[in-house]
Amino acid sequence: CISRGFSHVIDRLSEFFLPEENNTSQEYPSTSKETSTIVKFAHPNSLSKPFAKIIPIIHGFGNPGATTDLPEPWISPLIYMDRVKMLGANIYESYSCPMN
């Protein structure tokens, strides 16, 4: 269940990682005989986005427009799993406590 949820989050998150118009993409000739256009390919490792912009995107996955109180079907199994709740609580506690 966690791997399916993680895969879904990564798939939806990848939609926001569009290549910029700088030198991150390379041009390759088309292999199709019907067209001779040039295909642009952006290597997945060359795409980047500041982490501060990723957090609101992920937050929007679980609360799209806040039109209903029910979570989306893909995330509801993760919300109700005790181990995931414990993991979230541990992560929250780790980062919310002041460092001595």
How far apart are alpha carbons 21 and 10 in whole angstroms?
Answer: 23
How far apart are alpha carbons 21 and 23 in whole angstroms?
Answer: 7
Tell me the pLDDT band of 24, cut-offs 50, 70 and 90. very low
Q: Comparing 4 with 22, which gets the higher pLDDT?
A: 4
Q: What is the pLDDT of residue 20?
A: 57
How does pLDDT run across 80-100, given as a tens digit for each residue? 778 878 888 888 888 877 766
User: How distant is the alpha carbon of residue 38 from its chain centre?
Assistant: 28
Amino acid at 4: R
- Please identify which residue in the block is written with the tokens 């995107």: 57
Q: What is the pLDDT of residue 65?
A: 56
Residues 38, 44, 49, 55, CA torsion sign: positive
For residue 21, the surrounding DSSP H or E stretch is none
Report the Cα–Cα distance between both ends of the chain, in Å, rounded: 37
Amino acid at 70: L
Q: What is the pLDDT of residue 85?
A: 80
